Amino acid sequence: MRMVDLIEKKREGEILSKGEIGFIIESYVQGIIPEYQMSAWAMAVYFRGMSLEETADLTMAMAQSGDQLDLSSLGGRFVDKHSTGGVGDKTTLLLGPMVAACGVPVAKMSGRGLGHTGGTIDKLSAVPGFRVELTREEFLAQVKKIGLSVIAQSGNLVPADKKLYALRDVTATVSSVPLIASSVMSKKIAAGAQGIILDVKYGSGAFMKTLDEARVLAKTMVGIGNQLGRQTIAVLSNMNQPLGRAVGNSLEILEVADALQGKGPEDLMEVSLELGAWMLVAGQVVTNVEAGKEKLRASLTNGAAWNKFLSFLMEQGGDAQTVADRHLMVAAWNLPILAQESGYVQAFDAHKIGILAMTLGAGRVTKESPIDLGTGVMLVKKAGEWAEAGEPILQLYGSSQATLAEGLQFANRLVSVGSQAPDLPPLIEEVIQ
C-alpha cells in the first residue's frame, strides 16, 4: 500500500478497508508515514468523514497500537466512564467510590487538565502524598483489594492517539467527529472496559457547543462501542454553567468530600446519580436506572461511599485525614465578588469561569504549565439563585495578589443580577444507547 493512494481514496469520499486503516495507524506510529502525509489524511477525514464501520476499525487500530489492559483476571464486569470535559466536573471522584461501594469495580485511567477544563489527576494531586502513578501490578492489586483505583494514563496506552491528537491540534482537524470519537473510544477499549458510560457535554463550557453537535458525537461513540461488542451508553448533559460550586483542584476535592457525606450541590448530585446508575446497569448489578439511583443514594446515607473514598486515598498513599478534616491547602489570597443590587443571579458562562480559574492559577495554558492546586473559584450563588445586595456571589482564590487583581477585573464582568430568574435548561437532556 502507498499512503498517497489512501489519502486520495479518502479525499474522494471512498471507504477505507480495515486493512488500509490498520496500515495507516501502524505505519504512522512506527514513523514510516511522515507528518505531512498524515496531516493530509486527517484533513481528508475532516471534510469527507468516515462510515461507522471505518470509525470502529480506526478505533480498534488505535487501541491496539500500544499497551492494552487485561482485567479478566480480577473477575467481575468492568465499567468505565468518560466525560468529554467541562468546568467543575468532578463526577469521576464521586462515581468511583459510590459505584465501587455498590459492587461494580472501578479501574480507571484519567488525564490532566488543559486550558479551561480541569483534570481528575490534577484534582487527586491536591491530596498530600497521593500517588497518581502505579505499576500495572499495583493498579490491579488495589482494584482486587478495594474495588477502586484511579491513576494517570499509562505512557504507552494508545500511542497512536497521543501522536495523532498532537498533529490534529496544529492542523485545525480537532473538531472531526470520527477523529474525536475514535480518540475517546480507543482509550476505553485499551483500558479493558466491557461497559462504557459516556458523559457527553454541550454548552459554553464544553467542547461541543450545541445539543445537535453533542448528539452526533454521542451516537457515533455509542455506535463504535456496540460495533466492537462493548455495551455503550451516552448521557447528554448541559455545561452552560459549572457543575457544582467549586472550580479548582483542592476546592473540588473538598466539595467531593461534602458530596460523599450527603452534602453535595444539587446539580452535581443529579448528574453523578444519573451516570452512576447507568454504570450499575452496565455492571449488571441492577436492571434499571431508578434502582441504580436508589442503591447509590443508600451508599451515601450508610457511609459506604465515603469510607470507600477514604480507603482509596489511603491505598494510593494519600493523607485521607487531611481531606476528612478539611485541611487541604487552599490559597491564602482570596476575595469575594459582591452583588451590587438584590436580584436573581443571571446565567454564568462556564467557559469564562474556567478561564477565570485558569487566570487565578488553577489551570494550564500548555501541558508543561505549572498549576497552583489551592487556587480557583467558588460559586457562592449559582444562576437562578437570589442574592441580596452586598452578598458574595463568587469567591476568588489566587496564587498571589497580582493574579487576584487580574482575576477581579475579569470576574466583575461575569456577575450580574436581574429581577427575573434566568430560564435554565435541564441538566440531563437525553440518554442514547
Q: Compute CA distances 246 → 183, 253, 276, 378, whole Å.
A: 29, 9, 20, 5
- Catalytic hit among 83, 182, 183, 311: 183
What CA–CA distance (Å, rounded) separates 186 from 29?
15
Phi (first) and psi of residue 402, to 5 degrees: -65, -45
Rg over alpha carbons for the chain, rounded to the nearest Å, is 22
Phi (first) and psi of residue 343, to 5 degrees: 160, 180
Q: Compute CA distances 49 → 15, 181, 287, 305, 380, whole Å.
A: 10, 12, 36, 43, 44
- Catalytic hit among 161, 267, 349, 372: 161
* DSSP-assigned states of every residue in 315-344: HTT--HHHHHTT-----SEEEEEE-SSSEE
User: Which amino acid is it at 8?
Assistant: E
Please indicate whether residue 161 is annotated as part of the active site: yes
What CA–CA distance (Å, rounded) separates 385 from 60?
46
Please indicate whether residue 116 is annotated as part of the active site: no
CB distance 338 to 392 below 8 Å: yes
Please indicate whether residue 168 is annotated as part of the active site: yes
- Catalytic hit among 108, 163, 187, 381: 187
What CA–CA distance (Å, rounded) separates 146 from 321?
18
- Catalytic hit among 10, 81, 82, 215: 82
* DSSP-assigned states of every residue in 57-98: HHHHHHHTTSB----GGG-S--EEEEE---SS--HHHHHHHH
Residue the block writes with cell 448528574: 271
Total residue length of the chain: 433
Tabulate helix, strand, coil % of the chain (nearest 5): 45, 15, 40
Phi (first) and psi of residue 89, to 5 degrees: -85, 95
Residue the block writes with cell 461513540: 221
- Residues noted as catalytic: 82, 161, 168, 183, 187
